[in-house]
Amino acid sequence: MTMATVVDARGFSCPQPVILVQRAMAAGRYPIEVLVDSGAARDNVTRMAERAGCRVQCEAAGDGFKLTLSK
């Protein structure tokens, strides 16, 4: 089982969460779990990842969301 790369983008305002996730995607270690604490960050990261060809699963996690990106 491959360990997920975790990107904790909670507390960052856009575009910072998208930039952090783009860096993780460039490293190519999937799956990538992204923690965000706003709907805007969730939507922006999801849009960017889907445009890049990733599958995105979203679930509520505490006060925010956990996105799991896979190729």
Residue boundaries of the structural domains of the chain: 5-70
The answer to whether the CB of 31 falls within 8 A of the CB of 5 is yes
Which residues contact residue 58 at a Cβ distance below 8 angstroms, ignoring those fewer than 6 apart?
Answer: 42, 46, 65, 66, 67, 68
How far is residue 56 CA from its own chain's centroid?
Answer: 8
Q: Given this model, what pLDDT does residue 14 score?
A: 87
In this prediction, residue 31 carries a pLDDT of 97
Q: Comparing C-alpha atoms, which of 50, 48, 46 is closest to residue 66?
A: 46
Token pair, residue 2, equals: 């491959």
Superfamily of domain 5-70: TusA-like domain (3.30.110.40)
Q: What is the pLDDT of residue 1?
A: 57
pTM, rounded to two decimals: 0.93
List, for the chain, all residue ranges whose pLDDT scores fall below the cut of 70.
Answer: 1-2
